[in-house]
Structure 1
């Protein structure tokens, strides 16, 4: 795996990530669960023309639910939404969800688990092999803060990115804000992190240079001529029917309300559109969820200034996560990974 300074969504306090996948013998798909056991304020923005989602209406600011504990990102197209039920059961077993009172003398909850899917049907050979509830429960059970598995794992197992192998990518950054309430003598530190499952109709790679559209702080040399030729062939070798999607989560340690969390998800789409070209087509189901874990209060004075800084970071980290998804992918099926085509780029980055 390439060693680049992207950071991780798990740098946001309370966020854990887990994957489960199957590859080989007709399978190439998987599920990724983002778990926040302490709870987080949610938001969402759906931009793609062909989304496959669950529980997005519950996240609208005017609706009841104010806190969730998990998000499910998965392969399997609309069939894969079944994986969210496994995440729901995993949370229920731990008493995490919307409380509905006592039943038979025991407190009961209904976990709200928003979900989004990518299209990867048949990429391992059989279109009937797709995630079910067991994928979701296993992904949730694998969730860790020290998650080191990225690329062609979890929901990114069957992903393709403009003809290349896609994957799961992540990034994080720290936003430092002046604490206006203390006279500006100290700083407030806010962490913003993103996770993207890159399976776009468009490409993360600029065919003219052979490098990512959004290098996101990486210092990479152009691939050698033979590699660029092979890369262009891979980028253009696609089936006539494109059924794709980039989905993901942007999270922050700041305390935001639902409208602000949704705005964060909305601006993160700007990063998606910079990293993936084109984005938001009729056959992309581009969906980004927002999570605010509420660990840090924003300044009361000039709150909009603090929010703008968080929104900028959301855009930048989601762009970096999309780039990381493709750079960290490995070849596991018919689509070749960027790392196997442009080996010289990886050598020069160390």
Structure 2
């Protein structure tokens, strides 16, 4: 069962060269949707409508994509797929308008135009959507992700798409997360899951005192990671960007305000699993989709969401294999 929630389907498209990809989450009819953004460099679609002040309550799909701002175009394909099936807000004349929330990461597709997810790729992800558990690692939106870039990209690890599910008192919360963070990944007990591949005493962002992306001849590689998740970021060759994006899905019955609170508190999972999190160069954004089949308190849902998000953040890199010049934690050691 995809993300542990009945009726939820997840599909992915991955570029043939593994540079980028996109992932779509398709909930059952009537699902309440919301988004919370804590990163300072986000790239999103329908964030205002799905925000706490937005009038929209039902969300028909969520897209998580690579390709930076170019990747937002993949949501057009998701909208086309939903419209063809009559899914969306009904207007006069039989017209339907789907609400598709989207968020992006800056990956290698910025430098490789042919790999950027677009409308056809978003549509293909919908065609591939199923009720089965999603794949993890370097697939879909996780294909071009990297993590632990605090000492420079050359000392980082491959990131990826991670999935986790938590349940209590009849309530289930699932999370799917693309980990492309600048930060290093830490376990619940404080041990390192993915740390920059340099000596412990080497200065790391932000403690080296310079903004992320500022040239630093004293750093290990002479060039700390640059770029961000927004269209205004510096586009350099290779996977230089940052950001963690994801979608929390629950069977709980929530209002729009409560769904936003779950998405917002779900970011606690990022703070638990990344050092640092929510930086000026991260565009961290989380959606929440509530299918509304079980009564639950918002505090319980938010607690489970934070745990699931933290686990999913760790699982993406753990399932990723190395490619080109960066290793993966799933490689044989």
**TM-score normalised per structure 2:** 0.82
Shift of 1:9: 5.3
Match of residue 135 from structure 2: 149
Match of residue 57 from structure 1: 48
**Where do 5+ consecutive residues of structure 2 fail to align?**
149-155, 205-219, 228-240
Distance 2:140 2:243 in 1: 15
2:15 to 18, 22, 32: 22
Shift of 1:205: 4.5
Q: Secondary structure at the match of 2:275?
A: coil
Question: Which digits, 9 at most, give the CA deviation of each residue in 1:1-35, with x for residues without a partner?
Answer: xxxxxxx75211221111001142xx600000000
Match of residue 12 from structure 1: 5
**TM-score normalised per structure 1:** 0.78
Distance 1:269 1:56 in 2: 16
1:241 to 215, 220, 226: 226
Distance 1:337 1:49 in 2: 27
Match of residue 297 from structure 1: 295
Distance 1:240 1:63 in 2: 35
Distance 2:114 2:140 in 1: 18
Match of residue 101 from structure 2: 114
Match of residue 311 from structure 1: 302
Question: Which digits, 9 at most, give the CA deviation of each residue in 1:309-329, with x for residues without a partner?
Answer: 111111100000101111111
Q: CA RMSD in A?
A: 2.5
* Contact 2:2–2:134 (8 Å) recurs in 1: no
Distance 2:259 2:324 in 1: 36
Larger radius of gyration: 1
Match of residue 288 from structure 1: 286
Is 2:166 the counterpart of 1:173? yes
Shift of 1:231: 4.2
Distance 2:328 2:191 in 1: 13
Distance 1:160 1:117 in 2: 14
Is 2:74 the counterpart of 1:88? no
Is 2:96 the counterpart of 1:101? no
Are residues 14 and 73 of structure 1, via their aligned partners in 2, closer, same or farther at CA, if it must alter by over 3 Å?
same
**Where do 5+ consecutive residues of structure 1 fail to align?**
1-7, 177-188, 214-227, 299-305, 344-350
Are residues 64 and 270 of structure 1, via their aligned partners in 2, closer, same or farther at CA, if it must alter by over 3 Å?
same
Match of residue 72 from structure 1: 63
Q: Which has the higher strand share?
A: 1
Distance 1:256 1:35 in 2: 18
Shift of 1:239: 4.5
Match of residue 196 from structure 1: 177
